[in-house]
Protein backbone atom coordinates (compact mmCIF):
# COMPACT_ATOMS: atom_id res chain seq x y z
CA UNK A 1 0.00 0.00 0.00
CA UNK A 2 1.19 3.49 -0.84
CA UNK A 3 2.26 5.25 2.37
CA UNK A 4 0.26 8.29 1.33
CA UNK A 5 -2.98 6.26 1.47
CA UNK A 6 -2.45 5.08 5.00
CA UNK A 7 -3.28 6.75 8.32
CA UNK A 8 -0.29 6.31 10.64
CA UNK A 9 -1.30 6.47 14.29
CA UNK A 10 1.61 7.75 16.39
CA UNK A 11 2.42 6.38 19.84
CA UNK A 12 3.38 8.78 22.67
CA UNK A 13 7.12 8.46 21.93
CA UNK A 14 6.50 9.32 18.29
CA UNK A 15 4.32 12.28 19.29
CA UNK A 16 7.23 13.55 21.42
CA UNK A 17 9.56 13.32 18.42
CA UNK A 18 7.03 15.15 16.29
CA UNK A 19 6.79 17.81 18.97
CA UNK A 20 10.56 18.30 18.71
CA UNK A 21 10.38 18.61 14.93
CA UNK A 22 7.54 21.07 15.41
CA UNK A 23 9.59 23.12 17.86
CA UNK A 24 12.51 23.36 15.44
CA UNK A 25 10.14 24.35 12.67
CA UNK A 26 8.58 27.02 14.89
CA UNK A 27 12.05 28.38 15.54
CA UNK A 28 12.68 28.60 11.78
CA UNK A 29 9.40 30.45 11.26
CA UNK A 30 10.04 32.84 14.16
CA UNK A 31 13.47 33.69 12.75
CA UNK A 32 12.07 34.33 9.27
CA UNK A 33 9.19 36.39 10.67
CA UNK A 34 11.65 38.71 12.43
CA UNK A 35 13.44 39.41 9.14
CA UNK A 36 10.34 40.39 7.19
CA UNK A 37 10.56 44.05 6.21
CA UNK A 38 10.70 46.12 3.02
CA UNK A 39 13.82 45.50 0.94
CA UNK A 40 14.56 41.96 2.13
CA UNK A 41 14.69 39.40 -0.68
CA UNK A 42 12.82 36.15 -0.51
CA UNK A 43 16.17 34.37 -0.99
CA UNK A 44 17.42 36.12 2.19
CA UNK A 45 14.52 34.56 4.07
CA UNK A 46 15.34 31.12 2.70
CA UNK A 47 19.00 31.52 3.67
CA UNK A 48 18.01 32.42 7.24
CA UNK A 49 15.74 29.37 7.43
CA UNK A 50 18.52 27.09 6.23
CA UNK A 51 20.87 28.48 8.86
CA UNK A 52 18.42 27.61 11.66
CA UNK A 53 17.73 24.14 10.25
CA UNK A 54 21.46 23.50 10.14
CA UNK A 55 21.92 24.75 13.70
CA UNK A 56 19.47 22.07 14.89
CA UNK A 57 20.83 19.36 12.59
CA UNK A 58 17.49 19.34 10.81
CA UNK A 59 16.65 19.28 7.13
CA UNK A 60 13.85 20.59 4.98
CA UNK A 61 11.36 18.14 3.46
CA UNK A 62 10.57 20.81 0.84
CA UNK A 63 14.06 20.94 -0.67
CA UNK A 64 14.17 18.86 -3.87
CA UNK A 65 10.58 17.75 -3.32
CA UNK A 66 8.47 16.94 -6.38
CA UNK A 67 8.92 17.57 -10.09
CA UNK A 68 10.64 19.77 -10.95
CA UNK A 69 12.52 19.47 -7.61
CA UNK A 70 11.62 22.41 -5.34
CA UNK A 71 14.89 24.38 -5.12
CA UNK A 72 14.58 25.88 -1.61
CA UNK A 73 13.89 25.00 2.03
CA UNK A 74 10.87 27.27 2.54
CA UNK A 75 8.17 28.57 0.24
CA UNK A 76 7.60 32.34 0.10
CA UNK A 77 4.33 33.45 -1.50
CA UNK A 78 3.47 37.13 -1.92
CA UNK A 79 0.01 38.73 -2.30
CA UNK A 80 -1.86 36.82 -5.07
CA UNK A 81 0.58 33.93 -4.66
CA UNK A 82 -1.29 31.44 -2.49
CA UNK A 83 1.36 28.78 -1.84
CA UNK A 84 4.59 27.23 -3.19
CA UNK A 85 6.35 30.47 -4.18
CA UNK A 86 10.05 29.92 -4.94
CA UNK A 87 12.49 32.17 -3.03
CA UNK A 88 14.63 34.39 -5.25
CA UNK A 89 15.68 37.96 -5.96
CA UNK A 90 12.28 39.57 -5.40
CA UNK A 91 12.30 42.17 -2.64
CA UNK A 92 9.46 42.54 -0.16
CA UNK A 93 7.65 45.85 -0.40
CA UNK A 94 5.66 47.91 2.09
CA UNK A 95 2.04 46.79 1.87
CA UNK A 96 2.75 43.23 0.66
CA UNK A 97 1.40 40.25 2.50
CA UNK A 98 3.83 37.35 2.57
CA UNK A 99 3.20 33.69 3.36
CA UNK A 100 6.02 31.53 4.66
CA UNK A 101 5.62 27.75 4.69
CA UNK A 102 8.35 25.70 6.32
CA UNK A 103 9.00 22.08 7.19
CA UNK A 104 11.64 20.55 9.43
CA UNK A 105 12.73 16.92 9.59
CA UNK A 106 14.14 15.96 13.00
CA UNK A 107 14.90 12.31 13.87
CA UNK A 108 12.85 11.21 10.88
CA UNK A 109 9.69 13.10 11.79
CA UNK A 110 8.33 16.20 10.10
CA UNK A 111 6.88 19.43 11.44
CA UNK A 112 4.97 21.48 8.85
CA UNK A 113 3.60 24.98 9.48
CA UNK A 114 2.95 28.30 7.78
CA UNK A 115 1.89 31.87 8.49
CA UNK A 116 1.07 35.01 6.53
CA UNK A 117 2.10 38.47 7.71
CA UNK A 118 1.98 42.03 6.44
CA UNK A 119 5.11 43.92 5.36
CA UNK A 120 4.85 47.25 7.16
CA UNK A 121 1.45 48.92 6.82
CA UNK A 122 -1.15 46.85 4.93
CA UNK A 123 -4.67 47.60 3.70
CA UNK A 124 -7.69 46.96 5.97
CA UNK A 125 -8.84 44.28 3.50
CA UNK A 126 -5.50 42.49 3.70
CA UNK A 127 -5.56 42.72 7.48
CA UNK A 128 -9.04 41.21 7.57
CA UNK A 129 -7.92 38.39 5.25
CA UNK A 130 -5.09 37.51 7.62
CA UNK A 131 -7.37 37.58 10.66
CA UNK A 132 -9.97 35.37 9.01
CA UNK A 133 -7.45 32.84 7.68
CA UNK A 134 -5.68 32.51 11.02
CA UNK A 135 -8.95 32.18 12.89
CA UNK A 136 -10.08 29.52 10.39
CA UNK A 137 -7.02 27.49 11.34
CA UNK A 138 -7.91 27.60 15.05
CA UNK A 139 -11.56 26.82 14.33
CA UNK A 140 -10.37 23.75 12.42
CA UNK A 141 -7.96 22.73 15.18
CA UNK A 142 -10.79 22.92 17.72
CA UNK A 143 -12.66 20.25 15.71
CA UNK A 144 -9.71 17.85 15.95
CA UNK A 145 -11.28 15.71 18.64
CA UNK A 146 -12.03 12.03 19.03
CA UNK A 147 -15.67 11.53 18.03
CA UNK A 148 -15.43 13.94 15.10
CA UNK A 149 -14.62 13.07 11.50
CA UNK A 150 -12.24 14.82 9.13
CA UNK A 151 -15.23 16.32 7.29
CA UNK A 152 -16.22 18.14 10.48
CA UNK A 153 -12.89 20.00 10.37
CA UNK A 154 -13.25 20.81 6.66
CA UNK A 155 -16.84 21.99 7.02
CA UNK A 156 -16.07 24.23 9.99
CA UNK A 157 -13.24 25.96 8.09
CA UNK A 158 -15.36 26.45 4.97
CA UNK A 159 -18.39 27.71 6.85
CA UNK A 160 -16.42 30.30 8.77
CA UNK A 161 -14.36 31.57 5.82
CA UNK A 162 -17.29 31.81 3.42
CA UNK A 163 -19.37 33.46 6.15
CA UNK A 164 -16.72 36.20 6.18
CA UNK A 165 -17.07 36.68 2.40
CA UNK A 166 -13.83 34.95 1.41
CA UNK A 167 -13.13 31.70 -0.46
CA UNK A 168 -11.34 28.44 0.39
CA UNK A 169 -9.04 26.71 -2.06
CA UNK A 170 -10.22 23.44 -3.61
CA UNK A 171 -7.05 21.98 -5.18
CA UNK A 172 -4.81 21.95 -2.08
CA UNK A 173 -5.58 20.34 1.25
CA UNK A 174 -4.41 19.71 4.76
CA UNK A 175 -2.91 16.28 5.25
CA UNK A 176 -1.65 13.69 7.67
CA UNK A 177 1.99 14.30 8.57
CA UNK A 178 4.63 12.16 10.27
CA UNK A 179 7.57 10.33 8.75
CA UNK A 180 6.11 11.44 5.42
CA UNK A 181 5.20 15.02 4.61
CA UNK A 182 1.90 13.85 3.11
CA UNK A 183 0.11 10.97 4.79
CA UNK A 184 -3.56 10.12 4.92
CA UNK A 185 -6.03 11.54 5.58
CA UNK A 186 -6.39 14.48 3.24
CA UNK A 187 -8.25 17.24 5.07
CA UNK A 188 -9.68 19.70 2.53
CA UNK A 189 -10.67 23.22 3.49
CA UNK A 190 -14.21 22.52 2.33
CA UNK A 191 -16.47 19.61 3.14
CA UNK A 192 -19.52 18.11 4.77
CA UNK A 193 -19.99 17.45 8.50
CA UNK A 194 -20.17 13.79 9.50
CA UNK A 195 -18.17 12.59 6.48
CA UNK A 196 -14.55 11.52 6.09
CA UNK A 197 -12.19 9.66 8.39
CA UNK A 198 -13.10 9.22 12.08
CA UNK A 199 -10.50 11.02 14.18
CA UNK A 200 -8.45 8.86 16.55
CA UNK A 201 -5.96 9.72 19.27
CA UNK A 202 -2.45 9.63 17.77
CA UNK A 203 -3.46 10.99 14.39
CA UNK A 204 -1.22 13.90 13.36
CA UNK A 205 -2.54 16.31 10.78
CA UNK A 206 -1.14 19.42 9.13
CA UNK A 207 -4.19 21.66 8.92
CA UNK A 208 -3.79 24.53 6.49
CA UNK A 209 -6.56 26.92 5.50
CA UNK A 210 -5.69 28.65 2.21
CA UNK A 211 -8.00 31.59 1.64
CA UNK A 212 -8.61 33.82 -1.38
CA UNK A 213 -10.38 37.17 -1.55
CA UNK A 214 -11.84 37.00 -5.07
CA UNK A 215 -12.82 33.44 -6.04
CA UNK A 216 -11.64 29.95 -5.04
CA UNK A 217 -9.95 29.41 -8.40
CA UNK A 218 -6.17 29.10 -8.74
CA UNK A 219 -3.59 28.47 -11.40
CA UNK A 220 0.05 27.40 -11.41
CA UNK A 221 2.69 29.71 -12.93
CA UNK A 222 5.16 28.60 -15.62
CA UNK A 223 7.78 27.85 -12.92
CA UNK A 224 5.46 24.86 -12.24
CA UNK A 225 5.34 25.59 -8.51
CA UNK A 226 3.89 28.99 -7.68
CA UNK A 227 0.13 28.78 -7.14
CA UNK A 228 -1.70 32.08 -7.67
CA UNK A 229 -5.29 33.25 -7.38
CA UNK A 230 -6.74 32.95 -10.91
CA UNK A 231 -8.10 36.51 -10.60
CA UNK A 232 -4.87 37.76 -8.92
CA UNK A 233 -6.74 38.73 -5.76
CA UNK A 234 -5.03 38.59 -2.36
CA UNK A 235 -4.52 35.24 -0.63
CA UNK A 236 -3.39 33.94 2.76
CA UNK A 237 -2.25 30.68 4.33
CA UNK A 238 -1.89 29.55 7.94
CA UNK A 239 -0.85 26.05 9.01
CA UNK A 240 -0.02 24.00 12.09
CA UNK A 241 0.77 20.33 12.53
CA UNK A 242 -1.56 19.07 15.26
CA UNK A 243 -2.01 15.78 17.14
CA UNK A 244 -5.42 14.39 18.04
CA UNK A 245 -5.37 13.26 21.68
CA UNK A 246 -7.95 11.84 24.10
CA UNK A 247 -8.37 15.46 25.26
CA UNK A 248 -7.45 18.82 23.80
CA UNK A 249 -5.81 18.93 20.36
CA UNK A 250 -2.02 19.27 20.74
CA UNK A 251 -0.39 21.86 18.46
CA UNK A 252 3.03 20.44 17.60
CA UNK A 253 4.50 23.33 15.62
CA UNK A 254 4.94 25.90 18.41
CA UNK A 255 8.10 26.80 20.34
MG1 LIG B 1 1.31 21.18 4.64
pLDDT in tens, 131-149: 999 999 999 999 999 999 9
Q: How far does residue 97's CA lie from ligand 1's centre (Å)?
A: 19
Going from the Cα of 247 to the center of ligand 1, the distance in angstroms, rounded, reads 23
Average pLDDT over residues 175-201: 97
DSSP letter string, 5-18? GSB-PPPHHHHHHH
pLDDT score of 59: 98
Q: Rounded to the nearest whole angstrom, what is the distance from the C-alpha of residue 123 to the centroid of ligand 1?
A: 27
Tens of pLDDT, residues 90-113:
999 999 999 999 999 999 999 999
240 CA to centre of ligand 1 in angstroms: 8
Q: What spacing in Å lies between the alpha carbon of 74 and ligand 1's midpoint?
A: 12
What pLDDT, on a 0 to 100 scale, did the predictor assign at position 6?
81
Task: Give the Å distance between the CA of 44 and the centre of ligand 1.
Answer: 22
176 in Cβ contact with 191 (< 8 Å): no
**Cα(158) to centroid of ligand 1, in Å?**
17
> How far is the C-alpha of 187 from the C-alpha of 173, rounded, in Å?
6
pLDDT computed for residue 225 by the predictor: 98
Instruction: Kindly report the pTM of this predicted structure.
Output: 0.97
Q: What pLDDT is stored for residue 1 in this prediction?
A: 39
Neighbours of 64 (CB within 10 A): 12
Phi-psi sector, 120: left (phi>0), alpha (psi -120 to 50), beta? left
Look at residue 224 in the predicted model and tell me its pLDDT: 98
- Between strands 167-168 and 210-212, the pairing is antiparallel
Q: How far is the CA of 113 from the centre of ligand 1 (A)?
A: 7
202 has pLDDT over 50: yes
Alpha carbon of 173 to ligand 1 centroid (Å): 8
pLDDT at 4: 55
Give mean pLDDT, residues 171-185.
97
For the chain, what is the mean pLDDT?
97
Residue 94 CA, ligand 1 centroid: distance in Å? 27
| Model pLDDT for residues 42-99, shown as the tens digit of each residue | 999 999 999 999 999 999 999 999 999 999 999 999 999 999 999 999 999 999 999 9
What's the CA-to-centroid distance between 124 and ligand 1, angstroms?
A: 27
Ligand 1 center from residue 64 Cα (angstroms): 16
Q: Would the pLDDT of 8 be above 70?
A: yes
Measured in Å, residue 215 CA sits from the centre of ligand 1 at 22
CA of 234 to the centre of ligand 1 (A): 20
- Distance from the alpha carbon of residue 241 to the mean position of ligand 1, in angstroms: 8
Dihedral (Cα; 146, 152, 158, 164), 10-degree rounding = -70
pLDDT exceeds 50 at position 2: no
Residues belonging to the chain: 255
141 C-alpha to ligand 1 centroid (Å) = 14
Structural domains of the chain, ranges and CATH numbers in brackets: 12-251 (3.90.230.10)
Amino acid sequence: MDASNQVHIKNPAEISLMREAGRVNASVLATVRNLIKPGVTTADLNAAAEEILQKYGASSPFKNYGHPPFPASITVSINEQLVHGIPGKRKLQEGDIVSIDSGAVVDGFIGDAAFTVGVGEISPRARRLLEVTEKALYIGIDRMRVGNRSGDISAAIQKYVEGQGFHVVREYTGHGVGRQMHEAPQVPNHGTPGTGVPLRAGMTIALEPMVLVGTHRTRVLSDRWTVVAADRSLTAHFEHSVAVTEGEPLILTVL
